[in-house]
Every structure is written in structure tokens, then in C-alpha cells.
Amino acid sequence: MLAGSILLFLLVVGLFLATVFVPRFGRSISPRNWIIGGGIFLPLPILLALTFYALWQGEYLLRGGGGFPLQSPLRVEAHGTMWQWRFSYPDIRGATPTSGTLHIPTGRTVEIRVSSSDVIHSFWVPRLAGKIDAIPGHTNYLRLRADRPGRYGGVCSEYCGTGHAGMRFVVQAHTQEDYLAALAEEGGR
């Protein structure tokens, strides 16, 4: 997409400069061909291909990154309030809710149920997935998967008041073996 955009940009600006400064440039092309060629035949195939590719890619992301999931995703809940995120783990028996840090296992698709009870927030971990809004009165779902253990920064990306800039959180990805222990340790604190 980037390379294509650079090419198209250079093409249009180049044509503008050429038609202005190079005498008789492009005069052999009839006005009709200019308009039909540049206005219809140039953009349409690109847009069609791009739209279908984006549709396919969107479906892929909605599944949570992997192929068709063989195992059911691990469900966690993210609840936004002014101005922090609280996470709970309905699929893990006995896990206590956490604030500011979401613990997930690696190598498994995680389905996050995103909600809010005050204003609109948006849940975003740039390195793991796209964003989804937390809208009072609605629940939204986002699937993501971390392949490597580590800390992934997250932010609220919908303006939600004066604490918006500080409404950051961390996604901590643990290997499958360490995961339950890490959650238990949170509960012990």
C-alpha cells in the first residue's frame, strides 16, 4: 500500500509539473483519454483489488490472527472506567481481576470482551491488534494473539476526559506454563 501510494503520488505530481513546464507534454493524448484513463481506468482496478484484499485481511484479523481456531479462544474481559482498565478472567477458575495489567498466554487466541460504564473508551494494544471501542450500553469483542512472551504497551485511544493521556495499560504475555502461576501470583498480592 505504501509503495503503491508513493508511485501514484509521484505520477500525479509529476504529470502536473510536466504539463505545466514541458511544452506540448501530453497534448497527443485527447482530453477524453486523459479523463477516462486517469479518472477511471487508473483507480478502479487498484481500488477493487485493495478493497477485496482488505476484506480478506479483516476476516483474518477477526478470527484472531491464526487459521481457523481449532481450540476455543480464551475469554477475558476488559472494562474501561475513567481512567483505568480492569481485567477479569471468567475462563480461569479462581483468577482475581487485575487493574492496569492484562495477563494472557502466548500462542493462544484471546477473545477480549470490551465494555464501559461511564464514557466511551477504546482498547488498543498497537503491537497485538487493532482497536475496539468500549461503549456504555454495548459490549464489543476483539481477538488477539501474542506469539512471544513479553510486555506490550496499551493505550486508550478515544478521548475520554482529562485522564485520557494517562489511561495506559500493559498486556503481559506469559508462556502457557507460566500463565496460571502468574495469575495466581496477582491474586496473592
Q: Which residues bind another protein (CB under 8 A)?
A: 1, 5, 8-9, 12-13, 15-17, 19-20, 25-27, 29, 31-32, 34-35, 37-40, 42-44, 47, 50-51, 54-55, 57-59, 61-62, 82, 118-120, 122, 124, 126, 129-133, 135-138, 140-141, 153, 155-165, 168
Exposure string over 65-89, b if 16+ CB within 10 A, otherwise e: bbeeeeeebbebbbbbbbbbbebbb
Least distance (Å) between residue 183 CB and another protein: 27
Residue 27 neighbours by CB under 8 Å, 6+ apart: none
DSSP one-letter string for 107-133: TS-EEEEEEESSS-EEEE-TTT---EE
Residue closer to another protein by CB (options 97, 161) is 161
Least distance (Å) between residue 24 CB and another protein: 8
Residue closer to another protein by CB (options 29, 181) is 29
Least distance (Å) between residue 164 CB and another protein: 6
